[in-house]
Copies of this chain bind each other. A is one copy, B any other.
Amino acid sequence: MKKIQNIKALPGFAELNPGDQITFNNFKKIIAETYEKYGFIPLDTPTIEREEILFAKTGGDTAQEVYKIKKGDNDLALRFDLTVPLARYVAANYSEINFPFRRYQIEKVFRGERSQKGRFREFYQCDIDIIGDGGLDLKNDAEIPSVIYSVLSKLNIGPFVIKINNRKILTGFIDSFGFSDRATEVLRIVDKKAKITQEEMVNQLAEIGLNQNQIASLYELITLSGSNQAILEKLEALKIENQEFLQGIDELKQVISFIDLFNIPKDYYQIDISISRGLDYYTGTVYETYSVDYPEFGSICSGGRYENLAEFYTSKKLPGVGISIGLTRLFYQMKEAKLINGDAKTSSEVLILPLVQDLTEVVKLANNLRRSNIKTEIYLEDQNMKKKMNYANKIGVQYVLLMGEDEIKSGKLSLKNMRNGEQVSLTEKELVSLLKSLRLKKL
């Protein structure tokens, strides 16, 4: 039979080996459990949406990055984020939703971008949003960094900083120049601060029409440094009489003072006035999160406050605040930085290697272990000892139970620790205790 030659996963599409997948799934689990610890509830929307829904905001601008689907008369496409499906869901189910609606969603999204290193065409987003009906207290903006801190401190990425800003400070400042019509362009340039030189930024701002004084004062604004308290004082000292600007300072002040209650170590969050988020739907608080040791990862968790989630689908005013972790990308970056070793190629806590033909006692033992919630694998192939041990070595299981005539007769099990070669003889009860105590140590 003729074989198909091209059998790799499509370029730009993640496909982990099972060892890495175990770690990845563990990340997903940690994230979901942490989100739930803050009262977020799960949502799982269809992968496919109507184009009309997906392009409501952009009018089809992003169409070339979208995977379109041919099917009958409907114009369909794969979702490119989890925010649009959330907006549609909330609009469609408004009357049944309890507000504030705290939902999390951990699912794949799709972007048909040019394939390049560190960019994925299919990737997991791990989102939370809190949606209010008509209004949403600013305290929610302060709880979000606490969630970020809880999640990321469990993912073994080392120290990180949650950078916080309020976009009203930037947009108010731009407005004070009389440039509010070009605010989006200014913000897009400011957003590139980490990636371009000061000179490049100055040139780009000049190109869209800012004069030298304006550029200088904007640059001063976005590079304000010091403690959070110091930055807030410097902002006020600027004495800019723009309503939006002042409101931004006030909101940021409230958010920062409330964050302080949440027990996040001081090093882990700071005001950074240059954080603007390129996307234009944020209207207040914005967040980006950077690894201290690996700033090249870029922002590993971003988000912010928006005024109206679902304006294209409902006339209800639905303000919200949320964040997203691009987990697939983060995982690959961590893998490359050797923060993930992928040693574990199995979830099995113990592998039973039968050395007898009659497996009655072997299966009985496996039944008991599984009933005690021990992940137990039996090697069922009729192979020689060398092949059996070879399999045990390759899957990287820590404990192997050798079940021969002696063990079955005596009721004493032979447990081999594959990490150090040690072999001990113990009862079934002792075995269960040992494996469970190991599990507690790993927690």
The reply on A168 being an interface residue by CB < 8 A is no
| Distance A112 CA – B70 CA, assembled complex (angstroms) | 10
Q: Give a binary string over A38-49; 1 marks a CB under 8 Å from any B CB, 0 the rest.
A: 111111111111
Question: Which A residues between 1 and 54 are near B, CB-CB below 8 angstroms?
Answer: 1, 3-4, 6-10, 13-19, 21-22, 24-25, 36-50, 52-53
- For residue A335, give the distance in angstroms from its CB to the closest CB of chain B: 15
Binding stretch for chain B, among A85-93, A197-205, A235-243: A85-93
The reply on A315 being an interface residue by CB < 8 A is yes
- For residue A353, give the distance in angstroms from its CB to the closest CB of chain B: 12
The interface residues of chain B lying within 8 Å CB-to-CB of A348 are 36, 39
The interface residues of chain B lying within 8 Å CB-to-CB of A360 are 261
The reply on A253 being an interface residue by CB < 8 A is no
Question: Which A residues between 318 and 349 are near B, CB-CB below 8 angstroms?
Answer: 345-348
Copies in the assembly, this chain: 2
Tell which of B8, B19, B50, B375 touches A10, judged by Cβ atoms closer than 8 Å.
Answer: B50
Tell which of B3, B45, B100, B376 touches A315, judged by Cβ atoms closer than 8 Å.
Answer: B3
> Which of A3, A136, A312, A360 has the largest count of B CB atoms less than 10 A from its CB?
A3
When C-beta atoms are compared, the residue in chain B nearest to A98 turns out to be B394
Q: Are B359 and A261 in contact (CB under 8 A)?
A: yes
The reply on A441 being an interface residue by CB < 8 A is no
Q: Are B44 and A47 in contact (CB under 8 A)?
A: no
The reply on A71 being an interface residue by CB < 8 A is yes
Q: Are B4 and A53 in contact (CB under 8 A)?
A: yes
The interface residues of chain B lying within 8 Å CB-to-CB of A313 are 3-4, 7
When C-beta atoms are compared, the residue in chain B nearest to A312 turns out to be B4
Tell which of B17, B312, B346 touches A3, judged by Cβ atoms closer than 8 Å.
Answer: B312
A140-B380, A313-B7, A345-B41 as given contacts; A48 in contact with B67, CB under 8 Å: yes
The reply on A303 being an interface residue by CB < 8 A is no
The reply on A422 being an interface residue by CB < 8 A is no
Q: Identify 26 residue pairs between A and B in the complex whose beta-carbon atoms are under 8 Å apart, listed by A's number.
A: A6-B52, A7-B313, A9-B45, A9-B92, A15-B46, A17-B96, A18-B41, A18-B103, A19-B41, A21-B41, A21-B42, A22-B41, A25-B42, A38-B376, A39-B348, A39-B375, A42-B347, A47-B47, A67-B69, A67-B70, A67-B71, A68-B70, A69-B70, A69-B78, A136-B381, A139-B380
